[in-house]
Chain A
Amino acid sequence: MRISPGKLALSILLLLITGLGLAQKDIVIGADTNGEHYDPQRGLSGSAHIMMAMFDGLTRLDPDGTLRPSLAESWELVNNNTWRFTIRQGVKFHNGESLDANVVKLNIDRLITPHQTRASLGSTVTGATVVDDYTIDITTVDTDPLLPSKATGFLIGPASMEQDPDNDSTEFNRHPIGTGPFKFVEDVPGEYIRLEANPDHWNGAPEATSLTFRIIPDRSVQLAELISGGVDFIENVTPELIDLVNRSDVAHVVQTGSAISHTIVFRQDVESPLQDKRVRQAINYGVDIDTIIDNVLSGYATPLATVVLPIALGYNPDVTRYPYDPERARELLAEAGYPDGVAIEFDFTPSIGELYNTEVLQAIARQLEGVGIKLHLNSLEYGIAIQRVYGDDTVNPAFRWQWKTWYNDPDSILYGFFSTGGSASYVSYPEIDDMLHRARYNLDNEERAQIYRDLQVIIKEEAIHLPLYNLQTLYGVSDRLDWQPRVDGRLYFAQTKFRD
C-alpha cells in the first residue's frame, strides 16, 4: 500500500469531516472491549452496556439504584412464590412487532432453559404463566424478595427471535432487535458497534442520535482520544490525570463510587496459620489502609469494614475496620504461637483489582512484614486465577478478590464470600449459612436488613477477610454532554442531554 500526498490530504479531510460529524448528536464511547453476543438471554457480561441500550428489562434501576418500572408497569406478590407483572401496553420492538405477555413468557422460558450460560440470573425461577394479554405470573422455587430486582436483567426480545425454540439461534445475536432506546445498526468485531436512536421508545426518544462503542484497548490511548475530541466518553481515568482532562477544554471528569468491593480472602479450609482467628485479626490490625489509599490511590477510594457497601441494604455503620495497631497485631501473633512471625502464600492477578492493584498489594505486604507477617506474592494469569478460585479451589491460602454488589442488595456478595460452598467462599459457619438463608427467602426488608447488620458483626469479629476498599470510578466525559453516572457502574446514554 502506497500512501500518496493526495491520499493523505484526503484522509485528513475525512478526519475533519468526522470531526464535524461529532457536532451532531452522536456519542462515541471508548471501550476496553465490546461483548460480541447480543442475545437477551445469552449475551455475556461484556456486552452489558450495549445490551442495556438495545433492550429493556421488565424493570429497571435508577442511577441511584432505586427500582423502577420498565416493560412491566407494576408488580405484586400474589402468593409466596408467585410474582405477578403487568406488562406495559403499546410497546413496539424495533422491527414493529408488539410486546405482550406471551412474548415475555417466551423470553422467561428461554432464560431458564438449562443450557443458557446466563441462566443463573433466573436460577430461582421455575416458570411463567400468561394470565391475560398483558399480565404474567413468574413462579419461583421459594419466596424470592429480589425477583423484581433481578427482573432488571430479564431483557426481552421479540417473538421472532426464535422460530424454533429448540434451535440454537445464533443469527439473532448478530442483528439484535429489542424495545430499547437505541437500535442496532452494525457490528464490526474488534472495532466498533454502532446503534442509532429509537424515536419511538416508550420512555421518549433519547437526545443522542447515535451511539458508537469503539474498542480502544489501551487506557492511555483512550485518554489521548478523549482530550483530542476523538471520543466523547471513557471509563477509568487515573486520578493523576484528572487535571489533564479538566484542563483540556473538551472534556471533564465525572466521579462516583463504584459498586465493587475489593478484599483479601483467607482460606480456612486448608492447613495454614490463617485457620487461627488471631492470625487473621493480626493481619487486620497490621494494615494501615488509609495511608495506602491516600498515597497510592491519591485518596480515590473508601475503606471498607466488611465487603458490604454503604449503599447496600442492611449496611451496618457501627461495624468499623480494625484500627491500625501494629503492637496489637504482634501480640495476637505471639498469642497464636507465632512470636517469630508467619509466612503466607498469597495469590493475585494483575488484571483483577483495577487501579494500581499490584502496588496496593506490595504496600500491604510491606506493612505486614513490619509486624512479622510475610506475604509471598504470586501473580496468576487471569484465566488461571478464575479457575483456581471458582473452579477447582486450588488457590493459595490468601488471595485478592473482588465482587460487585447488584441492586444495592448484599445477598449475592455475602453468599459468594461467606456461605458454605459459595463460589468464592472458603469457610463454613453454620450460623452464617442459616442467617443468609433466612434473609434470602424473606419478604420483609427490615427483617432482612437486621439479619445483614448482625452478619457484618460476625464477619468482622471472625476476621474472615482483610477488607480493602471500594474505588471511586472516574469517567472522562466530553464537555458537550450532561451525563449521569450510576451506582451499578452501567453506562446509560438514553437520558444523556447535550449542552449547547
Chain B
Amino acid sequence: MFKYVGRRLLVVAPTLLGVMLIVFFLTYTIGNPAVLLVPPEATPEDIARVEAVLGLDQPVAVQFLRYIGRIARFDFGVSFYSDRPALNLVVQRLPATLQLSLVALVIAILIGLPAGLFGALWRGKFADVALSASVLFGMSIPNFWLGLMLIILFGVQLRLLPISGSGTPAHLILPAITLATGMLAMIARLVRNDLLDVLNADYVRTARAKGVSNTIVFIRHALKNALTPVITVLGLQLGALLGGAIVTESVFAWPGVGRLILQSIERRDYPVVQAATFILAVIFILTNLVVDVVCATLDPRIVYE
C-alpha cells in the first residue's frame, strides 16, 4: 500500500502539469480578455495597447513558454482586474468554501446514510418507498429555488436566520442545508443499493447460515463493503463542492471559490482561472487518492499493485 501511495504521489507533478497545459489552451480558445477590460468606446489601438500590457500581443508559443516558466515557479501572475496575486485570491476564498462544504457534507451523510440503511433493511416496504421519495424530492429541487424559499421562510417571515452573507455560524445553516439536500439523495440511494447487493452476496449468506447474528453480519461484512462506491462518490462530491457550489454561493452571497471562478471565467481573468484550476486539481488528486486508500482499507478484496 505504501508503495502504491508513493507511486501515486510521484505522478502528481506530471498530472498537474498536464492540467495546466490544457487550461492554458482552454482559456486561449474562449476569447481575448483585453476586449473585456477596456470601456466600450475604446478604439482598436486602445485594445492593442492593453494586449501589450498583458503580454497578449506575443505569439502563442512565446506566451505559452512564459506561462510554463511562471507555473514552474508557482507564479500564477496577478488578476487582470484587481492586480492582486491570482493564487492569493483563490486561497483567500478557501476557508469559507471549506466550512460550507464540510458542514453540508456532514449533514448529507448524517441523513443520507441512515436513510439508505433503513431503506435497505425495509426493502419494498412502505417506509422504504417513502424514504426514497423524500430524498429524491430533495434532489430534484433546484438549489436556487430551495435557497430562496428557505430565505423567505426563515429569513424574511420568521426572522430566525440571517438572509445572506457570512461571518457567524448562523449564516452557515441555510446554505449548508440547501447544498446537503441536493447531495444526500445520491448517498442514500447508493447506500441502499450497495447494501442490497452485498446482503445477497454469497459470503454474507454463508455467514448468516452459520448463525452469525444479523447485526454483526451487517456491520462486519455488509456495511464495510457496501460503502466503497458511496465513499467514491462522496470524494467526487466533496471535490465538486470545494470547486464551488456556484448557485448556492450566489443565492446566499457566500464568499466562496465558486463565485470567484464564475466571475473570473465570465470576464476572462485568466490568471485567476488558471490558479483556481490548479487548486482544484490538487484537491481532486488528493481526495481521490485518499478515497482509494480508504476503499482498499475497508474492502480487503481491493488490491492496488
Contact = CB atoms under 8 A, between A and B. Distances in A.
Contacts of A220: 148
A10 B265 CA distance: 38
A275 interface: no
Given A114-B49, A191-B255, A403-B40, A1 B99 contact: yes
A214 to B, nearest CB: 7
A362 to B, nearest CB: 22
Contacts of B36: 383, 386-387
B32 A188 contact: no
Contacts of B250: 217-218
Interface string A455-472: 000000000000000000
A176 B163 CA distance: 31
Interface of B: 30-32, 35-44, 46-47, 49-50, 52-53, 78-79, 81-84, 89, 92-93, 99, 102-103, 144, 148, 151-152, 155-156, 159-160, 162-166, 168-173, 250-253, 255-256, 259-260, 263, 265-268
Contacts of B152: 224
A383 B40 contact: no
Interface stretch (A102-110, A115-123, A488-496): A115-123
B296 to A, nearest CB: 30
Contacts of A424: 40
B253 A217 contact: yes
Which 3 A-B residue pairings sit nearest by Cβ, starting from the closest?
A36-B82, A190-B255, A11-B170
Contacts of B79: 36
B44 to A, nearest CB: 8
Contact of B102 (A1, A35, A227): A1
Contacts of B43: 120, 123, 421, 423
Name, among B30, B35, B102, B251, the residue most crowded by chain A CB atoms within 10 Å (CB to CB).
Answer: B35
B169 A225 contact: no
Interface string A380-395: 0111101100110000
A141 interface: no
A110 to B, nearest CB: 14
A221 B163 contact: yes
Interface in A398-412: 403, 412
A384 to B, nearest CB: 6
Given A117-B38, A120-B42, A216-B253, A224 B155 contact: yes
Contacts of A190: 92-93, 255-256, 259-260
A499 interface: no
Nearest to B79: A36
B257 to A, nearest CB: 9
Interface residues of A, number: 61
Contacts of B40: 390, 403, 416, 423-424
A3 B173 contact: yes
A224 B151 contact: yes
A120 B267 contact: no
Contacts of B148: 218, 220-221, 224
5 contacts: A8-B169, A14-B168, A119-B46, A215-B255, A383-B31
Contacts of B78: 170
Interface in A165-182: 168, 170, 173-174
Interface in A98-137: 114-115, 117-121, 123
A121 to B, nearest CB: 7
A15 interface: yes
B81 A36 contact: yes
Name, among B32, B36, B253, the residue most crowded by chain A CB atoms within 10 Å (CB to CB).
Answer: B253
B165 A191 contact: yes
A44 interface: yes
Contact of B159 (A33, A217, A228, A415): A228
A415 B39 CA distance: 14
Contacts of A228: 155-156, 159, 163
Nearest to A188: B255
Nearest to B83: A170
Nearest to B33: A383
Contacts of B99: 1
A467 to B, nearest CB: 17
A37 B81 contact: yes
A117 B266 CA distance: 18
A77 to B, nearest CB: 23
A403 B41 CA distance: 9
Contacts of A46: 81
Contact of B156 (A7, A8, A224, A387): A224
Nearest to A411: B41
Interface string A1-39: 101000110111011000000000000000001011101
B58 to A, nearest CB: 15
A423 B42 contact: yes
Contacts of B267: 383
A15 B163 CA distance: 11
Interface in A244-297: none
